Amino acid sequence: MHKSFDLFFVSSNSHKYQEAKSILDSLGIDLGFLKSNLEEIQSHSLNTIAMAKAKNAYSIFKKPIIIEDDGLFIDSVDGFPGPYSSYVFKTIGNKGILNLLKNNRKAKFVSIITYCDKTILQSFEGKLNGRISKTQKGKGWGYDPIFIPNNSKKTFAELNNKNELSHRYKALRKFSKWYLHK
């Protein structure tokens, strides 16, 4: 029998979906996955990008959806890579980021979760401050092996409880409170 979901996560990144599903399961929301390479506009604003992607996803699937867009913002390089994090990861990767940095390694991860259905378009933001490690540590995906949250000595890739404190968790928690009471 076909399973019924509360809503769908639309992305080409199954890692993001697995994290979102795990987090939302714990918050009482059953999340399905629709794999899609959505068009991504270029903008300095994560929220603008996320809203455009959510509208695009809804126009394709005609189901209640959420999308996630996030960025790694590093203080010493004026917030780079920010909304261009995915492209930068694909081109220079973690080694390239580590090569750019000297002493100031302060950074933050920002996640935008955007919900879209026939009548509602709503975004939720989560932020987590931290720093960039001097070397890659752990076996995580994306920037996880180089991002150390504040009050930790371990990178996201080394943590067992990333999904309980991440930028994505913070945004999804805000979303779930709204969604379950809308």
Q: Which is nearest to 90 in space by CA: 12, 35, 161?
A: 12
Per-residue pLDDT, 102: 87
CATH fold of the domain at 7-181: Maf protein (3.90.950)
pLDDT one-digit tens code per residue, 6-31: 899 999 999 999 999 999 999 999 99
Whole-number Å distance between alpha carbons of 14 and 43 = 24
Query: What's the average model confidence in pLDDT over 59-69?
Result: 96
pLDDT one-digit tens code per residue, 70-123: 999 999 999 999 999 999 999 999 999 999 998 899 999 999 999 999 999 999
**70 among known catalytic residues:** no
Phi and psi, residue 113, nearest 5°: -105, 125
Q: Could you count the other beta carbons within 10 Å of the beta carbon of residue 29? A: 19
Provide the percentage of residues in the chain whose pLDDT is more than 70. 98
Of 3-7, 115-119, 134-138, which gets the smallest average pLDDT?
Answer: 3-7
Provide the percentage of residues in the chain whose pLDDT is more than 90. 88
Whole-number Å distance between alpha carbons of 134 and 97 = 10
Look up tokens 């709204």; give the residue. 178
Per-residue pLDDT, 157: 95
Q: Where are the alpha helices (DSSP H) in the chain?
A: 14-26, 46-61, 85-91, 93-100, 167-181
Q: Which is nearest to 74 in space by CA: 102, 51, 55, 52?
A: 102
pLDDT band at 3 (very low <50, low <70, confident <90, very high): low
Task: Report domain extents, the chain.
Answer: 7-181
* H/E run at residue 147: strand 147-149
Out of 69, 70, 78, 117, pick the active-site residue.
69
**Distance, CA of 28 to chain centre:** 20
Distances (CA, A) of 70 to 26, 47, 95, 126, 182: 21, 9, 20, 9, 24
pLDDT band at 1 (very low <50, low <70, confident <90, very high): very low
pLDDT one-digit tens code per residue, 41-53: 889 999 999 999 9
